[in-house]
C-alpha cells in the first residue's frame, strides 16, 4: 500500500494541485489539471515518468494554455498491470480526451510519450490539433540507439529515498534524478511507482521502426531535440522533419534527453512559441469537441 509521495520542496512549489482520477476503458488513471483559460495541451510522459513532471510547463504556460498531464498506464498513480502495447497507450489517450471533452487538443509527448502522441494523431486525427514531440526517435532500434534500459535488477524497496537513489545509481545510472520523480514511500519502504518487469515489456513493445506512424498524420508539429540526446540523433531528427509535412525542427542547446528538466524555461518557451503560431493560424477550436 502506498503511504504517500513526498516531492522535494522544488517539486511541491511547482505542482499546481493534487492528482485527480478518472476511469477509462475499465482502468483508473491519474492526471494533473490546473484548469484555467486557453486551449488544452495534453502532456504525455515517457517510460519511468509521471504526469507531474510537466507541472513547471503548466505554470509557465498558465493563462495561455491549460496543460493537462496524464499518468499513463503502468506509471505514476494510474493502475498497473494490463497490456503495455503502443496501441493501448494510444487508446487510453483518446479515451481521456473524450472523457475530458477537450479535443481537438494540442498533444505533447516526451520520449515514449512522443510516440504515443504522434500515433494518436495518426489514428485519431479529429482529437489532435497540433503535436509537440520532445526527443523521440522513429528509429527506435539498434544500432541507431539502445531502446531498452535494463531495469530488471533495480530494487523493489529500500529504507529511504536516498537509499533508493543510491541503489539505482549503483546500477550504472550516473544521475537518477529523472527516475526519482516516480519515487514514493510505501508501507514496507521506498520504491518506484512503476513495476520494473512491466517497464521492460513496455520498452520492448516500442522498439522498431516507427516512421509509418510518424508520417501518417498532417497536423502542425514541433519536433524538439535535445542537443545531447542519446535517443534522437541529429540526422534522424532532420529526416523526421523532412519526411512529414508541416513539421518544424528545433533543438535545445546543452540539454540531455530529459530536456524539460535540463532547461525548463527553454522547453516552455519553444512549446509556447510553437503553439502560439498554430493558434494564430486557427487550428484550435474555441470550445471542446471530441470528434475522431
Q: CATH number of the domain that 207 lies in? A: 3.40.50.1820
Q: How do beta strands 183-186 and 189-192 pair?
A: antiparallel
Residue 153 located in a structural domain: no
Residue 18 located in a structural domain: yes
Residue 275 located in a structural domain: yes
Give the number of other CB atoms < 10 A from CB of residue 206. 22
Q: pLDDT tens digits for 207-217?
A: 999 999 999 99
Is the pLDDT reported for residue 3 higher than 90? no
Residue 56 located in a structural domain: yes
Residue 290 located in a structural domain: no
Handedness of CA 196, 149, 160, 260 (dihedral sign): negative
Residue 166 located in a structural domain: no
At residue 92, φ and ψ (nearest 5 deg) are -60, -45
What mean pLDDT, rounded, does the chain reach? 92
Residue 164 located in a structural domain: no
Residue 273: domain span: 2-148+194-279
Pair 258, 269: CB distance under 8 Å: no
d(CA 292, CA 289): 9
Q: In the chain, which ranges are E strands?
A: 2-4, 20-24, 27-32, 40-44, 66-70, 105-110, 128-134, 139-140, 183-186, 189-192, 208-209, 221-226, 247-252
Residue 109 located in a structural domain: yes
Number of domains in the chain: 1
Q: pLDDT tens digits for 227-265?
A: 999 999 999 999 999 999 999 999 999 999 999 999 999
Amino acid at each position: 500500500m502506498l503511504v504517500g509521495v513526498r516531492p522535494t520542496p522544488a517539486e511541491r512549489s511547482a505542482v499546481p494541485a493534487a492528482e485527480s482520477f478518472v476511469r477509462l476503458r475499465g482502468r483508473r488513471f491519474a492526471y494533473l489539471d490546473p484548469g484555467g483559460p486557453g486551449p488544452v495541451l495534453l502532456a504525455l510522459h515517457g517510460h519511468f515518468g509521471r504526469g507531474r513532471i510537466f507541472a513547471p510547463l503548466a505554470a509557465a504556460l498558465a493563462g495561455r494554455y491549460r496543460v493537462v498531464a496524464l499518468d499513463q498506464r503502468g506509471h505514476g498513480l494510474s493502475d498497473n498491470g494490463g497490456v503495455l502495447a503502443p496501441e493501448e497507450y494510444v487508446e487510453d489517450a483518446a479515451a481521456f480526451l473524450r472523457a475530458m471533452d477537450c479535443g481537438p487538443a494540442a498533444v505533447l509527448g516526451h520520449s515514449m510519450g512522443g510516440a504515443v502522441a504522434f500515433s494518436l494523431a495518426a489514428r485519431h486525427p479529429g482529437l489532435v490539433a497540433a503535436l509537440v514531440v520532445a526527443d523521440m526517435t522513429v528509429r527506435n532500434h539498434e544500432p541507431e540507439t539502445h531502446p531498452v534500459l535494463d531495469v530488471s535488477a533495480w530494487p523493489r524497496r529500500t529504507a529511504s529515498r536516498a537509499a533508493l537513489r543510491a541503489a539505482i545509481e549503483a546500477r550504472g545510472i550516473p544521475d537518477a534524478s529523472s527516475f526519482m520523480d516516480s519515487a514514493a514511500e510505501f508501507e514496507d519502504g521506498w520504491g518506484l511507482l512503476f513495476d520494473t518487469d512491466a517497464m521492460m515489456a513496455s520498452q520492448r513493445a516500442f522498439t522498431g521502426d516507427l516512421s509509418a506512424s510518424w508520417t501518417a498524420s498532417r497536423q502542425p508539429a514541433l519536433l524538439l531535440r535535445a542537443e545531447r540526446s542519446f535517443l534522437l540523433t541529429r540526422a534522424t531528427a532532420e529526416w523526421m522533419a523532412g519526411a512529414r509535412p508541416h513539421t518544424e525542427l528545433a533543438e535545445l542547446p546543452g540539454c540531455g534527453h530529459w530536456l524539460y528538466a535540463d532547461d525548463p524555461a527553454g522547453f516552455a518557451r519553444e512549446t509556447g512559441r510553437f503553439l502560439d503560431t498554430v493558434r494564430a493560424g486557427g487550428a484550435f477550436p474555441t470550445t471542446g469537441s471530441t470528434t475522431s
